[in-house]
Amino acid sequence: MSTDHHSHLEQSGASDDSIQQTHDRLQAQKPEKADGNPRYPLLLLGIMCTAVFFGSVYLAHYSSNFDPLIFNEHQKPALQAATGPVITPAMLGKRVYTANCVTCHQANGLGVPGAFPPLAGSEWVLEPQHEKHMIAIVLYGLNGPITVKGNVYNSAMTPLGGVLRDEQIANALTYVRSEWGNDAPAITAEQVAAVRAELGARGPFTVEQLTTLK
């Protein structure tokens, strides 16, 4: 193109012949373009027809005639979530318990006689006046004698406040309080955080120290 253009400019005195030749050449190109390839529009038409066909089949199957009782274009995912499986704090707590408490207190919450006290039916788990004690035992651990369900245990529980978050401790205790026939109110992460904030960083409790807490 550019060479054609140049030669055209340079040959300001072009002969009629050469002009005619150029015209002919340009003219000759036009019909080719207009011709095109007739297969492409047909192919496109075919694709569109197929798309419309399958679209209609899909709507016939799934639109339910756009009945507002069945077809709800404004359906919110939240509505579906509400009917799905609900994960409770106790369910999350069971995982924490299985990973952090079960080796000592056992899956049935009965502990091991003479070594690990039971959580099932324990007054330290169920009674309101021991609620703060229970949270403190898990956060800071416990040393020395403790009486649970009439039996004396004299061992040590390792502190778990350093490895478990407030929410995990709350969920584990909520699980412990609702399992094996236990039935006491849930523990919230806020309750655990409050005990942690009040008692600060410290070593394991003894029962004597626990019972003198306010």
* Geometric angle at alpha carbon 165, from 164 and 166, rounded to 5°: 120
Cβ proximity to ligand HEC, 22 vs 121, nearer residue: 121
Given a contact cutoff of 8 angstroms between Cβ atoms, the answer to whether 210 and 136 are in contact is yes
Size of residue set near ligand HEC by CB under 6 A? 30
Restricting to residues 27-56, which ones interact with ligand HEC according to CB under 6 A? Answer: none
Cβ proximity to ligand HEC, 78 vs 115, nearer residue: 115
One DSSP character per residue, 49-100 reads: HHHHHHHHHHHHHHSGGG-TTT--TT--HHHHHHHSPPPPHHHHHHHHHHHH
Q: Which residue among 89, 90, 117, 178 contacts ligand HEC (CB under 6 A)?
A: 117
Given a contact cutoff of 8 angstroms between Cβ atoms, the answer to whether 107 and 164 are in contact is no
Q: Whole-number minimum distance, CB 164 to ligand HEC, in Å?
A: 7
Instruction: Look at residues 209, 211, 212, 207 and name the one whose alpha carbon lies nearest to residue 152.
Output: 207
Q: Exposed, middle or buried, 184 (CB in 10 Å: 0-12/13-18/19+)?
A: middle
Q: CA distances (Å), 164 to each of 89, 140, 209, 211, in order?
A: 15, 11, 23, 24
Cβ proximity to ligand HEC, 14 vs 184, nearer residue: 184
Q: Kindly state whether residue 120 participates in binding ligand HEC, applying the rule CB under 6 A.
A: no
Restricting to residues 141-160, which ones interact with ligand HEC according to CB under 6 A? Answer: 142-144, 146, 148, 153-158, 160
Q: Whole-number minimum distance, CB 174 to ligand HEC, in Å?
A: 10
Q: Which residue among 118, 139, 159, 195 contacts ligand HEC (CB under 6 A)?
A: 118
Q: What's the longest Cα–Cα distance across the chain?
A: 125
Q: Kindly state whether residue 100 participates in binding ligand HEC, applying the rule CB under 6 A.
A: yes
Q: Kindly state whether residue 180 participates in binding ligand HEC, applying the rule CB under 6 A.
A: no
Q: Which residue among 103, 108, 147, 211 contacts ligand HEC (CB under 6 A)?
A: 103
Residues in touch with ligand HEC (CB under 6 A): 100-101, 103-105, 116-119, 122, 124-125, 134, 137-138, 142-144, 146, 148, 153-158, 160, 172-173, 176
